[in-house]
Amino acid sequence: MRGPGAWPGVVHAGLFEREPGGELRLGAQRGEPALDLARVLGRGERLLGSPLRAVFPGLVAAAADAVVLLDVVAKAGDPSMAAALRAHGVDCVLALPVPGSSAGEPRGALCLSFKAAPPFTHEEFALLLELAELAGIGLRLADLQGERAGMLARIAQLSTIDALTGVANRRHGESLLEAEVKRARRYGLPLAVIAFDIDRFSEVNARFGHPVGDLALRAVAEATQKMLRGSDILVRAGDEEFIVIAPHASAADGLKVAEKLRGAIAATVIPGVDGVTVSLGVAALGEQESADSLAVRVNAALARAKRAGRNGVELALQ
C-alpha cells in the first residue's frame, strides 16, 4: 500500500474484511504509523460487536453496504473516538463498501482517513469506487489462493498506474519527480528528464480512429520501456505526452537516450498506422532547481523541438 502522500490528504487507509462466519475484522492498514484502528475501535476482530459499530464509517459501510463520509469526526457523536483520530491528524473519514459475490452482501469496506474533507471531483470519486470494487475482486482471489498479504498494497498501486499503457500516471509521476529531485539535490547526483509526445497524434485519431490511437500509445510506451534502464521511470503525462525521469544521468546522457528513443519509436511497427514519430525535450536538473522549474524547462525544450519541424530532440536552456 502506498504512503500517505499517494492520494492528496490521505494519512491512513484500512481494509475491513468479512470473515466466512459473517464477522468483521481489520484485515490491513497502512499510513500514519502511530494510528492503529484496532486501538481506536477497541479491537481488531469481531468488530460487529464494537461499541463504535454504528458510528465509525468503516464499520457502518461494511454492515450497511453504503458509502459513508464523516466530513468532521466530531459529528460522529463519540468524543473519545474523535479525539483519538484527531491526535493523529485525522478529521475526515471516508468508507466505501467492498462488493461481495452477491448484491447487498459487502465483502468489507475500504476506509480512507484524511486530514480534512477533500473536494472530490466526480472522476476522483468514481476512481475510489473502482478501487473498492477491485478490493472485492482481490479479496475473492485471495480467498481462493490463500494469499491475503499485500492486497491493500495492490489496490493502492492501481491508482498510480495509467490504465491504457501500464506506466506511471501523471499524479504519481509528479510525486516521483519531486522525490528524485530531492534525492539528487541531497546527494549531489545528476538527474535528467526527457519529455516527448507523439507528433500529430490528433491526426492519427482522426484518420484511423481512437482504437488505433490507443494501440499507438501502448506501442510507444512499450518501445520506450525497452530502451530504458531499470532505474528510469516512464510517466504518461497527458494524452500523447510522456516523461522519462532518468536518475544519475547528465544532460549529455539525456540527449543520447532521447535520440535512441526517437529512433526506436520511429522504427516501431504499429498495425493500422503508417508509423509515428516523436518530438523530445531534454533537461538536466540545476544545482538549486525545483521540480516545477525543471518541468517548465523540459516542456519548453519539447515545444522548440515541435516548432523546429518535429521528429527531433532539443536541449533545455538553463
Position 117 scores a pLDDT of 87
**pLDDT bracket for residue 9 (50, 70, 90):** confident
Position 138 scores a pLDDT of 73
Q: What's the rounded mean pLDDT across residues 298-304?
A: 97
Which amino acid does the sequence have at 292?
D
Position 270 scores a pLDDT of 92
Position 106 scores a pLDDT of 86
Q: What is the CATH number of domain 4-158?
A: 3.30.450.40
Q: Residue 147 pLDDT > 80, yes or no?
A: no
Q: Is 240 a catalytic residue?
A: yes
Query: pLDDT higher for 44 or 158?
Result: 44
Position 58 scores a pLDDT of 92
Position 70 scores a pLDDT of 94
Q: Residue 285 pLDDT > 70, yes or no?
A: yes
The pLDDT tens digits for 197-213 are: 999 999 999 999 999 99
Q: What is the pTM of this model?
A: 0.55
The pLDDT tens digits for 216-267 are: 999 999 999 999 999 999 999 999 999 999 999 999 999 999 999 999 999 9
Segments making up each domain of the chain, as ranges? 4-158, 170-315
Catalytic site residue from 240, 259, 287, 289:
240
The pLDDT tens digits for 258-271 are: 999 999 999 999 98
pLDDT > 90 fraction of the chain, expressed in percent and rounded: 65
Least Cα distance to 302 among 281, 285, 283 occurs for 281
Position 33 scores a pLDDT of 81
**pLDDT bracket for residue 303 (50, 70, 90):** very high
**pLDDT bracket for residue 133 (50, 70, 90):** confident
Position 186 scores a pLDDT of 93
Q: Residue 5 pLDDT > 60, yes or no?
A: no
The lowest-confidence range among 35-39, 46-50, 96-100, 157-161 is 157-161
Query: pLDDT higher for 160 or 305?
Result: 305
Task: Give me the CATH topology for the region 170-315.
Answer: Alpha-Beta Plaits (3.30.70)
Q: Residues 300, 285: contact at Cβ < 8 Å?
A: no
Gap between the Cα atoms of 155 and 195, Å rounded: 28
The lowest-confidence range among 73-77, 97-101, 252-256, 302-306 is 97-101
Task: Please give the mean pLDDT across all residues of the chain.
Answer: 89
